[in-house]
Structure 1
Amino acid sequence: MLKNFSNVTQRLRRLSSQELDVSGTFQSFLLDLLDEGKQTLKVARVSVWLFDDLDKPSELINVANTDWSGKTLPEQLPTLQYEDFAAYFTAINSGRSIDANDATTDPRTCEFHDIYLVPHNIKTMLDTVIFKNGIPHGVVCCEGDKIRTWHKDEIAFAEMIADCCSRRLLVKALWQLQSQLTELAFKDPLTGLSNRRFLMDSAKREMSRHARFEHPFSLMMLDIDHFKKINDNYGHETGDLVLKHFAEICVNTLRLEDCMCRLGGEEFVVLLPNTSINSAMIIAERLRNEIEHARIATPAGEISVTSSFGVAQVNTSLPFSHALKAADHAVYQAKAEGRNCVVPV
């Protein structure tokens, strides 16, 4: 039985309301809840196990454990197979808490006798279900080394731990969804580069920053020469492969601070922070040379491409579109001069 049950639950409520980073491992954002459960219930360990699949679960995966506190997570997370522990899985899927006073004899947990309970000196278990959209998603497992009778307050507290875990798991799922939506909104799906929308947002921020510190800011626009011939001669699948490898060549050649975006088709723009027009010309010429000498492997054989460049320094007192248009005109001039060259504004 828990003493001062109201105080205990109030502490848990305050703990669960705290902001936390859900971008890391399950262990990192669930451990404080598990530690609270371990201390309050006075058990040997508390762990969280999640189903591999909500629709057709075949195993439970141990994703967080008080035994791992301050330690490196196991390379291979422990699992429980449905076929090996049918009675336990059935109990979990019912949604009801498992209050196994004597885990070695309780029909819901005695399957663990030889392979887990005895080797780890576990005598009692209190397992409460984690729900997701009303469906069992996993379990919080509290294990003790002495047979005990679980009081209703202890069961209620353990169920609160499971509910807190459920809320945090939901927040993590929402964060992952938001990250995916953000990537879809700002990433080009073919090349993995940032897209035009990201370019315009990023340029606006960079212009403000460079204006404030009076640092030079340049951009380059590049267009793959005769790209239509690649599509016409080899097909669009090969053309897509060329675009992907072209993007890789550029990213591997550019500096880490440079931001390359795909405008569309075979047109690309690179933002060059803290870079004067003269330095931008050097960077563009180095990239032009790398592209010219690269060989792109495709099912149709090796393909080489060249690219025409327009380079401009951004006037931070004017709209970004002004510099973008100037670089675009420079690309047209580069093509008029025979392609595979760099033309400054």
Structure 2
Amino acid sequence: MAVNVKEYDGNVSNNRHNELTHVTQRLRRVLSKEVDVSVGHQQFLSDIILEAKALLNVSRVSVWLFDDVTNPEKLVNFANTDWEGVITGPLPELTVLDYPNYFRAIVNGETISACDAITDPRTKEFTEGYLIPQQICALLDTAIFQNGLAIGVVCCEGRFEPRDWLQWEVVAAELIADCCSRRLLVHELWQMQQRLTEMAFQDVLTGLKNRRYLMDYARSEMSRHQRSDRPLSLLMIDLDRFKLINDEYGHDGGDEVLKQFARCCNELVRTEDCVCRLGGEEFIILLPETEVAKAMNVAQRLREEAAGLTVQYEGKAIRFTVSIGVADVNLHMPFSQSLKAADQAVYQAKAAGRDQIKLAL
């Protein structure tokens, strides 16, 4: 029976087209899902690489990222279909010194469709340490791109025997790498947003939280403490005669004093306490689950620590004291009222000779 070659070629072409369309639809559906990119790479890439493993019928799929895009020396394995849950401990690495040909291919953006990875010049460097012990024979590795540069690779591994990779499988692997690129970009944007948020709520000089953060945090804590009927206290601290420090040592010397005092505060308080720079030489410490009597004890320790602190600046020793107002936060009034009460207590401490602690009435 005669076979129409054109008809046969057309059927093959249609089959490949249908397969690729099917793969594309499945990958687009996976990528459209909302995922939590605040977790580790293994968690937010797992759906993509598991889909890749099933689509390509391979033994393992993994994602490796360069340590430095402009001058890569390592590939670090951040996601792997063999892993489950949160990954702890050091991640597997490959170095350019051990695998120069492979690195060169990935950096150049090549898709490595190695039928026999043991003989392919780009992958045979893995023979002794990786391929043979794990019985890996075929590799389909595609570069992950961002901004026109390769930032890593998706590695698809077939075990036991060589394999001729079909055209639609190569295209599918490249689509999978693009899916990873997009998810990684979302993660990068999330990290950037976190940094911007942190900057918005952080005092640049001391690294402490700022007034904006304090007001938001205080409202949240007041609501929580009101529901549980638990005490909430605050300390307002003002560095004594700080203008004289600036006059004598310059603003850089004054800045060093503020930074050292901020470090002192952080070392003294608990993890759950909130230390903020209110502005200038004024600081606030919010003490959750703390009665005012215990807050007075914290204030006393802080006053003593400040009095004993010596700040070295340009060969000179700067000493200073602090005046502290302690207030029981009124959970049924605006937080500004408690701040005002603590501020009045600081004024009284200064009027009493400074280096004092006063309780707000």
In structure 1, the residue matched to 2:122 is: 108
1:200 has 2:215 as partner: yes
Q: Which residue of 214, 223, 232 maps to 2:238?
A: 223
Where do 1:56-75 residues align within 5 Å? 56-69=71-84, 73=88, 75=90
3-state secondary structure, aligned to 2:136: coil
Provide the C-alpha distance between the structure 2 equivalents of 1:274 and 1:59, rounded to a whole number of angstroms: 48
Where does residue 269 of structure 1 map in the other structure? 284
TM-score (norm 2): 0.81
Question: Which moved further from structure 2: 205-214 or 120-129?
Answer: 205-214
Matching residue within 128, 132, 140 for 2:146: 132
Q: Does 1:242 align with 2:257?
A: yes
**1:308 and 2:326 are equivalent in the alignment:** no
Counterpart amino acid of 1:136?
A: A
Work out whether residues 217 and 272 of structure 1, in 8 Å CA contact, stay in contact via their aligned partners in 2. Answer: yes
What does residue 156 of structure 2 align with? 142
| Aligned equivalent of 2:205 | 190
| Distance in structure 2 (CA, Å) of the matches to 1:172 and 1:63 | 13
**C-alpha separation between the residues in 2 aligned to 1:79 and 1:169?**
20
Q: Which segments of 5 or more consecutive residues in structure 2 lack a partner in the other structure?
A: 1-14
Q: Distance in 1 between matches of 2:88 and 2:156?
A: 19
> More displaced, 186-195 or 18-27?
18-27
How many residues in Structure 1 have an aligned counterpart in Structure 2? 344
Contact 1:234 1:300 in 2 (8 A): no
Give the aligned residue type for 2:115: N
Question: For residue 98 of structure 1, what is the aligned residue in structure 2?
Answer: 112
Cα RMSD after superposing both structures: 3.1
Contact kept in structure 2, 1:238 and 1:300, CA below 8 Å = no
CA distance in 1, matches of 2:270, 2:90: 34
1:254 aligns with 269
1:45 to 34, 39, 60: 60
Larger deviation: 162-171 or 48-57?
48-57
Instruction: For residue 124 of structure 1, report the CA deviation from its aligned partner.
Output: 1.3
Between 1:48-57 and 1:10-19, the stretch displaced more is: 10-19
Alignment of 1:267-306 (within 5 A): 267-296=282-311, 300=315, 303-306=318-321
Query: Which residue of 1 is the match for residue 94 of structure 2?
Result: 79
Conserved? CA contact 1:31–1:69, under 8 Å: no
3-state secondary structure, aligned to 2:266: helix
* Structure showing greater Rg: 2
2:70 to 21, 38, 55: 55
TM-score, normalised on structure 1?
0.85
Quote the offset at 1:169 in angstroms: 0.7
SS in 2 for 1:123: strand
* Alpha-carbon offset, residue 150 of structure 1: 0.6
CA 1:86–1:287 in structure 2 vs 1: closer, same or farther (change >3 Å)? closer
**Alpha-carbon contact 2:257-2:311 (below 8 Å) kept:** yes
Q: Which secondary structure does the structure 2 equivalent of 1:242 belong to?
A: helix
Q: 1:86 to 1:284 in 2, by over 3 A?
A: closer
Please give the per-residue CA displacement for 1:42-80, whole angstroms capped at 9, x wherever unaligned.
Answer: 323222121233334344333223344469555263123
Query: Cα–Cα, structure 1 residues 154 and 322, in superposed 2: closer, same or farther, change >3 Å?
Result: same
Give the corresponding residue for 1:19: 34
Aligned partner letter, 1:27: Q
Which residue identity lines up with residue 217 of structure 1 in the other structure? L
Deviates more, 1:164-173 or 1:295-304: 295-304
Question: How far has the Cα of 1:38 moved from its partner?
Answer: 2.8
